[in-house]
Amino acid sequence: MPPPATHDLVSDAVLTIFGRSKARWASLGDEMSAVFRENPGLSPEVRRLVLVRTRELVARLRTLDFAIGSELRKLGRARQDLARWLALEVLHGRLSPRAAERRCPQVDWEAVHAVEPRIAAIENPLTRLGVRHSIPDWAAEILIETFGDEGAVACASALLESPPRTLRANLLRVGRDELLDQLQAEGFEAKPTRFAPHGINLAPVSDVLGSPSYGAGDFEAQDEASQMAVELVAPPPQAWFLDLCAGAGGKALGVAATLQGEGRILATDISSSKIGALKKRARRAGAFQVRAIVTGEHDWPPEAAEFAAEADRILVDAPCSGLGAWRRRPEMRWSLTRAEAMELPESQLELALRAARSLKANARLIYATCTFNRRENEEIVDRVLKEVPGLEIVKVVEILGRRRAEAITDPLGTFLRMAPHLHGTDGFFAAVLRRRDFP
């Protein structure tokens, strides 16, 4: 338990971040950074606790509201947030019910502390899973469809855990072994990732972005499953690579490192701020063959269309429901409604079809998401195969080899399928399609 003064500092910062974020479920990272800038005197230990506790508070929001019950609606907005924070501390055993009562006497804290029997009594299995593991019912339904009852519980539980801080060695600057030695010399407990050949795992809240290695451009922060998607691009020497939904560019930079500075890379996104961040990251990484441009939501500028027709590899890392990333982005649990989630496959299909129809002979499309939902994954691949003649699946086992692929694919080795409870990574899906020839 932190001393009282530290606990108060953490409580104030967490409640400030939470209050700002839930107004529009903005990125917790942005709000944390803002609060840390406003409070430069916070010690590294306080900042670490703020990061961990804020993620816990946001991730467990549904469970906390259920534990507090109808009394929550009787409180004003600020008192509601305080009650949620106190409930989090009580349920984790960091605060006694009596101590919580002194700060918020309107709530029955003994009932909060003994909430598990009430959860167990919920008859609807989707709602019971959703309340216990703090996910919406529609997400609980997807987990059960994908993993079965026991697997859904294991996955939902893993999505509540703090993820490791995962890095990818920037091969334009340094190899993984050398980077491991550097980080260990800088005081970090670093170890190789299990599946990604250039990945390194650190403790979840390691402040590695202030390290000399980061300043030198020796690594990028990238989850291990995302690194495996980069592996599936498998570009030939001097390849032309198009990243259609590049975001801040993690995968584009990974491919640039694979190509060792050769070839040509065009990264596109509809967000000008993400493209701006990508350009900065590319300069720091020394990935000078990467060009980044902003595109429209439903159309390409001529440069992108012309590049697509010549590209050897096109990546569509499609905007998705994001269930697999909920460890890192807990606010995503509450920022998407069931209706919005159900609408996503149509926009994903549009992106995938546009890319597939642009493929030249023998070029490949890599379709990827960070979700478990078959309607956003396998069903999109099936529809693309039906609507675009001349395509075939390239199995993951053909790209990675059986030894590397068997633990991270379906039984036939066809698709990349990774999940936090099975692999310790974010949840991820990827498929590779190749155009045999023009029809």
Asked if 138 and 341 count as a contact pair (C-beta separation under 8 A), the reply is yes
| Helix (H) and strand (E) counts in the chain | 22, 12
d(CA 113, CA 108): 9
Final residue of a domain: which of 74, 95, 125? 125
Do 108 and 181 belong together in one domain?
A: no
Distance CA 294, CA 304 (A): 10
Please give the residue range of the domain that contains residue 28.
Answer: 4-125
pLDDT tens track, the chain, 439 positions: 566 667 789 999 999 999 999 888 877 888 888 999 999 999 989 999 999 999 999 999 999 999 999 999 999 888 999 999 999 999 999 999 999 999 999 999 999 999 999 999 999 999 999 999 999 999 999 999 999 999 999 999 999 999 999 999 999 999 999 999 999 999 999 999 999 999 999 988 888 988 999 989 999 999 999 999 999 999 999 999 999 999 999 999 999 999 998 999 999 999 999 999 999 999 999 999 999 999 988 788 899 999 999 999 999 999 999 999 999 999 999 999 999 999 999 999 999 999 999 999 999 999 999 999 999 999 999 999 999 999 999 999 999 999 999 999 999 999 999 999 999 999 999 999 999 975 5
Amino acid at residue number 323: L
Same domain, 374 and 275: yes
Q: For residue 44, what is the domain's CATH number? A: 1.10.940.10
Residues 413 and 396 in one domain: yes
In angstroms, the Cα distances linking 426 to 86, 218, 228, 353 are 29, 23, 11, 26
Q: What is residue 220's three-state secondary structure?
A: strand
Q: Which of 221, 238, 265 is the last residue of a domain?
A: 221
Q: Are residues 217 and 275 in the same domain?
A: no
Residue 21 belongs to a domain? yes
What's the residue count for the chain?
A: 439
| Cβ atoms of residues 288 and 261 within 8 Å | yes
Our count of domains for the chain comes to 3
Nearest Cα residue to 195 out of 232, 245, 160, 220 = 232
* CATH of residue 207: 3.30.70.1170
> Which of 125, 153, 184 is at the close of a domain?
125
Indicate the pTM of the whole model. 0.94
Residue 417: CB atoms within 10 Å: 21
Burial 80-100 (b: 16+ CB within 10 A, else e): bbbbbbbbbbbbeeebebeeb
Domain shared by 96 and 181, yes or no: no
**Domain co-membership, 232 together with 373:** yes
Do 190 and 233 reside in the same domain of the chain?
Answer: no
Q: Are strands 364-369 and 428-435 parallel, antiparallel or unpaired?
A: antiparallel
